[in-house]
Amino acid sequence: MRDTTRRFLEGIEAVPGLAVTGRPDLSVFEFGSSALDIGAVGDVMDERGWHLDRQQGGLHLMVSPYHAHVVEAFLADVADAAAIAGSGRAGSGRSATYGAAPPV
């Protein structure tokens, strides 16, 4: 599974505008962007059947052994999603589902 996680990390880092947040020790990580509307990236990924958790800083991924079979398809879709977001598509405004707390 380490090889699959590494492939996700390298593939995401190769997409212009996307960056992995920190370096994970295991197979759970987040990626985001300072250049793209990460909400728009998440929306495109939702439309393509990849339902990533939205966090305050980006999109959250948990890699399992099954993901070895789909990593290349995921990376192709995330590259397309980043290109679409880069062309000016705005996110739907769907808020983070993890890491967000209601105001006190």
Per residue in 18-61, pLDDT tens?
999 988 888 999 999 999 999 999 999 999 999 999 988 899 99
Instruction: Give pTM, 2 decimals.
Output: 0.87
Q: What percent of the chain has pLDDT over 70?
A: 88
8 A C-beta contact, residue 55 and residue 98: yes
Which DSSP category does 102 fall into? -
8 A C-beta contact, residue 19 and residue 32: yes
Instruction: Provide the β-strand partners of residue 19.
Output: 32
> Dihedral, CA atoms, 39, 57, 48, 1, nearest 10 degrees?
170
Task: Name the band, by pLDDT with cuts 50, 70 and 90, for residue 93.
Answer: low
Query: What is the mean pLDDT of the segment spanning 66-89?
Result: 95
Task: Name the band, by pLDDT with cuts 50, 70 and 90, for residue 92.
Answer: confident
